[in-house]
Amino acid sequence: MRIAIAQLVSWDRYYAFDLGGLEVKPGDCIIVNSEFGVDAVRVSEIKEIENDGKEEYGEIGTVERLASRDDLDSIASDNKQKEATINYCHKLVKKQELEMKVVDCYFSFDGQRLTFAFIADGRVDFRNLVKELNRHFQKSIRLFQLGVRDEAKIAGDVGCCGLNQCCRSHLKKLGNVTSEFAEHQQIAHRGSERLSGICGRLKCCLAYENDLYLELAKELPPVGTRVRTKHGRGEVIGWHVLNKSVTVKIDPDKEGDKNLIVEVPINPDKKEEEKE
């Protein structure tokens, strides 16, 4: 089966659509039938799959046709209404004193649905809000809770590296980045301010080289290991993963001498140090 992978909107998950015999390429706008209704989506990639794809993508939708010029004009018209729509929702949120922040909205292509994206610290009882929105817009209303990473993906711009944020350019899935990634790469000492992105969470790019650091670390003796070097016997007290070396505290020759601390390279084929 040949499928197109696309998002209904940038903060939603990826969906799959059966292309049938339609010839499309990444970047094309197509009209699809999804589990929610009729939508217009921009193709991210084309894939060939042998199974039904449900395990990875859920229900596979169908593609009706390529979007026409009139379709694109209709989408642009909906986008112009976004600001006024979000502002109206903001007023209702403030009126009902709800602890939530509306950050985006999405009009379905068939005009039947309106989805609001919001962030909140916890659960929010927005049943009355949905009723008022439904009464005003006369559409099926859906509220979609986002994380702070998703908000940065919508409203962000340039990262501290000077390039476009990864989540706004090429990163399709926002991973679960933990403080262990910084520890593996020996940069935890830099502090949370330098390791966090504009979303306030650990930078997604910490995950890019994490597997490499773990692989290289397998060649190094564990911290605390007793080793013998050309400088004498000592204990491994630290790693230099990229240099493929370890820091060793050499035992003093006699009581009262200061400990000598040296960096010892590790050669996977012929190691300079030997474990005791």
Mean pLDDT (whole number) for 138-154 = 82
Residue 55 is encoded by which pair of tokens?
């395990």
Neighbouring C-beta atoms of residue 116, cutoff 10 Å: 23
- For position 271, what pLDDT does the model report? 47
**Structure confidence by residue, pLDDT tens digits, 97-143:** 999 999 889 999 988 999 999 988 888 899 999 999 999 999 999 99
DSSP type of residue 12: S
Q: What is the pTM of this model?
A: 0.64
pLDDT confidence band for 272 (50 / 70 / 90): very low
Neighbouring C-beta atoms of residue 185, cutoff 10 Å: 17
Mean pLDDT (whole number) for 69-78 = 87
Beta-strand pair 113-119/140-146: parallel
**Structure confidence by residue, pLDDT tens digits, 161-201:** 888 888 777 776 766 788 889 888 888 888 888 888 877 78
Residue 122 · residue 97 · CB < 8 Å:
no
Count the alpha carbons within 13 Å of 200 in the hemisphere toward its beta carbon.
4
Neighbouring C-beta atoms of residue 182, cutoff 10 Å: 21
Task: Using alpha carbons, select from 38, 39, 42 the residue that is nearest to residue 6.
Answer: 42
DSSP type of residue 187: -
Q: State the Cα–Cα distance between residues 217 and 214, nearest whole angstrom.
A: 5
